[in-house]
Amino acid sequence: MTVITRFAPSPTGMLHIGGARTALFNYLFARHMGGQFKLRIEDTDEARNSDAAYAAIVDGLKWLGLNFDGDIIYQSKNAARHREVALELVKNGGAYYCYTTQEELAEQRAAAEAKGEVFKYDRRWRDSSETPPAGVKPSVRIKAPLTGEVVVHDAVQGDVVFGADALDDLVILRSDGTPTYNLAVVVDDHDMGITHVIRGDDHLNNAGRQTVIYNAMGWQVPVFAHIPLIHGADGAKLSKRHGATSTTEYAAMGYLPEAMRNYLARLGWGHGDDEIFSDEQAIEWFTLEHIGKAPSRLDFAKLNHVNAHYVRLKTGAELAELLGVPASMASAIESVKVKVGTLVELKDAIGFYLNAPTAYDEKATAMLAKNGANIPLILPALEALAEPWSAEAVKAAIHAVAEQSGKKIGELMPPLRAAIVGAMSGPDIPDAMAILGKVESLARLKRAVA
């Protein structure tokens, strides 16, 4: 059997981080099993769909590097096939025409609610021999079992039992001939040969309803794996108030796609205590058995830690390209890349190479007040160095000044840092001065003295 999984987003917004994780799990499982990973756009809700959302999802998957197999399937294009299956179900006795109108249903619902009862369609047309009312276009309802239970054998949740009283005769085809959501999902999953449905556990109830439809068609039910949702650090379901929720935002915040893959794989799945692993390892290790049952929590400190690891793995030239700065910045980037968590921080950290400080921050100002007077002691030694100078030559010159003057290195380097960077952060200062070059470095030192 070839494993076929799918990611089936509705194009109604950005690629949400929860959706990205669902896509990743489907991707990893398919690759682990040597199978296929497909993309189906569930675009049947015309009022909520948008082309922009569709593009954002496809771009988000591309950015994350989750390549899908074959063409994109558009659910809306399969409506005729969904209708055909609904009518086949009427023929085989698995479904029936229901002539209760929307107005009647609304009345019945209101009456039930007035009595404090939960409304459930009374199945009046299920086995009816009444003559259908003239002029009423029927909907089609599935026959849910009246007794017994439906069991979903879930690879994550275990056996989930739906008693007959929890299932109703769901409308599968509306009176206007359009398919409903659960019918469309079942037909598409069947026709696409989907063997494993891995998705958020907010769809667990649908799995019960969908199983009824599979059974009525005599189709093989796929393996379901409903994964717990991602929560924020406070344990509440992830929402805007926890900060970034879409892949687009994470990209803008300077996270690398490989770091996101690594981090998201650990959200709800694990391989022992391994925190950092390659794509190849994730594919080799990924099985459904190790998906957890408890919701996972998004932890930005961990994400930053993972991202910092992947930033360090990149060369200065690669990072320059990602930042959109000239390749000549590669060594400047090398000098600070170990100090940052994100690309945004990296861009910030190389800022002083591109622009001389126009002001000194609070700490740098305090440092210049304390040891700024040491800079003129160092200047002659630096001026005497040949151009181009190296970090080693700069360092040796400063050490020589320390020896001659009796000052400590800790009194000489920090004011240089304040003058060169304008802040007390940044790379090793001889490195920074080597990258900046003699002319620019000396100009900055002289400006600070002035």
**Residues whose CB falls within 8 Å of the CB of residue 127, separated by 6 or more in sequence, listed in order:** 96
Tokens encoding 81 = 């096939």
How far apart (Å, rounded) are the C-alpha atoms in residues 287 and 414? 52
How far apart (Å, rounded) are the C-alpha atoms in residues 224 and 209? 13
The residue type found at 58 is V
How far apart (Å, rounded) are the C-alpha atoms in residues 19 and 120? 32
Which residues, 38 to 57, sit near ligand GLU by CB under 6 A?
42
Nearer to ligand GLU, 247 or 335 (CB): 247
One of 77, 91, 237, 240 is an active-site residue; which one? Answer: 240
Tokens encoding 396 = 């040796």
Residues 126 and 141: beta-carbon distance below 8 Å: yes
Count of residues binding ligand GLU (CB under 6 A)?
A: 7
Check residue 21 for interaction with ligand GLU (CB under 6 A). no
Stretch that binds ligand GLU, among 5-13, 88-96, 127-135, 146-154 (CB under 6 A): 5-13
The residue type found at 57 is I
- Closest contact distance (angstroms) between CB of 190 and ligand GLU is 12
Residues 381 and 401: beta-carbon distance below 8 Å: yes
- Please state the separation of Cα 385 from the chain's center in Å: 51
Return the number of other C-beta atoms located less than 10 Å from residue 172's C-beta. 29
Stretch that binds ligand GLU, among 4-12, 169-177, 213-221, 379-387 (CB under 6 A): 4-12
What pairs with residue 162 in β-bridges?
Answer: 150
Of positions 203, 417, 438, 444, contacts ligand GLU by CB under 6 A: 203
- Closest contact distance (angstroms) between CB of 194 and ligand GLU is 9
What pairs with residue 6 in β-bridges?
Answer: 38
Check residue 154 for interaction with ligand GLU (CB under 6 A). no
Tokens encoding 387 = 């151009």
Task: Identify the CA nearest to 6 among candidates 17, 14, 29.
Answer: 29
Check residue 8 for interaction with ligand GLU (CB under 6 A). yes
Nearer to ligand GLU, 221 or 322 (CB): 221
- Closest contact distance (angstroms) between CB of 7 and ligand GLU is 8
Nearer to ligand GLU, 18 or 422 (CB): 18
| Long-range CB contact pairs, 310-314, < 8 A, 24+ | 310/256, 310/258, 310/259, 310/262, 311/256, 311/259, 311/337, 311/340, 311/341, 311/342, 311/343, 311/346, 312/337, 312/338, 314/256
- Closest contact distance (angstroms) between CB of 77 and ligand GLU is 15
Nearer to ligand GLU, 91 or 240 (CB): 240
Which residues, 166 to 195, sit near ligand GLU by CB under 6 A?
185
Stretch that binds ligand GLU, among 6-14, 145-153, 264-272, 284-292 (CB under 6 A): 6-14
3 state SS of 161: strand
Is 77 catalytic? The answer is no
How far apart (Å, rounded) are the C-alpha atoms in residues 279 and 312? 17
Which residues, 242 to 301, sit near ligand GLU by CB under 6 A?
none
Check residue 9 for interaction with ligand GLU (CB under 6 A). yes
Of positions 31, 83, 199, 347, contacts ligand GLU by CB under 6 A: 199
Check residue 60 for interaction with ligand GLU (CB under 6 A). no
Stretch that binds ligand GLU, among 7-15, 243-251, 289-297, 425-433 (CB under 6 A): 7-15
Which residues, 326 to 385, sit near ligand GLU by CB under 6 A?
none
- Closest contact distance (angstroms) between CB of 19 and ligand GLU is 7
How far apart (Å, rounded) are the C-alpha atoms in residues 310 and 333? 14
- Closest contact distance (angstroms) between CB of 88 and ligand GLU is 21
- Closest contact distance (angstroms) between CB of 200 and ligand GLU is 7
Of positions 3, 4, 5, 10, contacts ligand GLU by CB under 6 A: 10
Residues 334 and 316: beta-carbon distance below 8 Å: yes
Question: What residue ranges bind ligand GLU (CB under 6 A)?
Answer: 8-10, 42, 185, 199, 203
Residues acting as catalytic residues: 240
